């Protein structure tokens, strides 16, 4: 088990980090106090901003290696993550 320290304005890890498939993370590095965990070294990263975490930019549902369900709203269209 690895503990990940978050900034005080982030209540859940899934708001700052997601693993859609092995080798790929969606992450907001600025809210991970001690940085991205070393277990993700060498993985491709889709970086999102602190502002985007407010709209759950990293909060998706990985179904399998080819399918990831991502929500969107008027403030976050998910384009950066989709691309």
What is the rounded CA–CA span in Å between residue 27 and residue 47?
Answer: 5
Number of Cβ within 10 Å of residue 54's Cβ equals 13
pTM score over 0.85: yes
Residue 59 has a CB neighbour count (10 Å cut-off) of 16
Place of tokens 């809210």: 31
For residue range 21-78, list pLDDT tens digits in order. Answer: 999 999 999 999 999 999 999 999 999 999 999 989 999 999 998 999 998 888 888 8
């Amino acid at each position: 088990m690895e503990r990940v320290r978050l900034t005080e304005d982030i209540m859940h890890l899934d708001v700052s980090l997601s693993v859609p498939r092995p080798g790929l993370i969606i992450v907001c590095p600025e809210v991970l106090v001690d940085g991205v965990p070393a277990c993700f070294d060498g993985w491709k990263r889709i970086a999102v901003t602190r502002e985007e975490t407010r709209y759950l930019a990293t909060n998706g549902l990985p179904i399998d290696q080819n399918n990831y369900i991502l929500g969107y709203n008027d403030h976050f269209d998910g384009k950066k993550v989709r691309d």
